[in-house]
Copies of this chain bind each other. A is one copy, B any other.
Amino acid sequence: MNGVDAKHRLSVPAPLRETIETRSQVKALVLGPDEHMPCLVGYDVSYFERIQARLDNEFAGDFGPSRGAKARELFGMTEQLKYDDTGRILLGPMLRDLGELTGPAVFMGMGDHFQIWAPALLLKHHADNPRLARMVNALLAGKAA
């Protein structure tokens, strides 16, 4: 299972890397906070353009202070990280803190993006979903789902 090691390296699952590279031709991904949940959200590098488009759309012609606040919320904590030959990225303190990522990490595909969860938080925020709980526990036990 993929996880964060003592040097704060997080190995990105190979299948995910493959889809990212076919989408963007870049050995890097963009990680930021999820808007509602204590997990990280990841995309290919086109995410920055998406944020920009959303800002331009939402604040068309408006350059007041609220636009800046929103931009800080969207861009501020989001980083582009390139991974090395073995497919690992280095997490800075703020992303680590945002996701409470220390040990194993659960990658969940969400269609056009994916989430990265600390197992404990995933279980805590999905206490009403026994199937997901079983899956997480199976993963932690070291077996495929």
Binding site for B on A (CB under 8 A): 8, 33-37, 48, 51-52, 55, 63-65, 68-69, 71-73, 75-79, 93-94, 96-98, 100-102, 108-112, 115, 126, 129, 131-132, 134-135, 138-139, 141-145
Task: Select one of B8, B64, B143 contacting A144, CB under 8 A.
Answer: B8
B residues in contact with A36, CB < 8 Å: 64-65, 68
Contact flag A131-B48 (CB < 8 Å), given A8-B144, A102-B144: no
Q: Least Cβ distance of A106 to chain B in Å?
A: 9
B residues in contact with A76, CB < 8 Å: 108-110, 132, 135
Alpha-carbon separation in the docked complex, A94 to B122 (Å): 15
Most B CB atoms within 10 A — which of A72, A76, A138, A139? A76
A36-B64, A72-B126, A97-B134 known, 8 other contacts, Cβ within 8 Å: A36-B65, A51-B111, A72-B110, A76-B110, A77-B132, A78-B109, A96-B138, A97-B144
Q: Least Cβ distance of A80 to chain B in Å?
A: 8
Leading 3 A-B pairs by shortest Cβ distance: A97-B138, A36-B65, A96-B144
Q: Is the CB of A97 within 8 A of B65?
A: no
B residues in contact with A51, CB < 8 Å: 111
Q: Is the CB of B37 within 8 A of A65?
A: yes
B residues in contact with A108, CB < 8 Å: 72, 75-76
Q: Is the CB of B52 within 8 A of A111?
A: yes
